[in-house]
Amino acid sequence: LETGNTVADISLGLTNFLYSNFVSG
């Protein structure tokens, strides 16, 4: 299983998504 890796990837993706939205206004 790669649950830990998957969770980390999702967390990173979500953070990047939120950051992009914040920067774009």
Per-residue pLDDT at 3? 76
As a whole number of angstroms, the distance between CA 8 and CA 4 comes to: 6
Nearest to 2 by CA among 17, 10, 16, 18: 10
Give the helix ranges, DSSP H, for 1-25: 3-24
Q: Which amino acid is at 5?
A: N
Phi then psi dihedrals of residue 10, to 5 deg: -65, -45
From first to last of the 25 residues of the chain, give the pLDDT tens digit: 677 789 999 999 999 999 999 998 7
pLDDT for position 2: 72
Q: pTM score > 0.95 for this model?
A: no
